Amino acid sequence: MSLADFLKGSYHEFKEKVEWPKWPDLQSSTIVVTIATVLLSLFTFGVDELFSKAIRNILSMLINLFN
């Protein structure tokens, strides 16, 4: 099988056999992914801030302990 045959077969597969999503389905999926991404980033930010404050407090307690 040559590269040209592979490319022709791939093109035929994408054009004839793949069922592409309809525009409304694509829009709703994009909205869901966007909302999930924003929520996940807010959660990650919150956990990062919480751990940062906890580590800062632990370090300040240890520093005060030895001073």
Residues 1-11: pLDDT tens digits?
A: 799 999 999 99
The alpha carbon torsion through 27, 7, 5, 11 (nearest 10 deg) reads 20
Residue 28, pLDDT > 80, answer yes
Q: Residue 66: what pLDDT?
A: 86
Determine the average pLDDT of the residues in 52-65. Answer: 96
Please calculate the CA angle 40-41-45 and round it to the nearest 5 degrees: 120
pTM (predicted TM-score): 0.66
Average pLDDT over the chain, rounded to an integer: 95
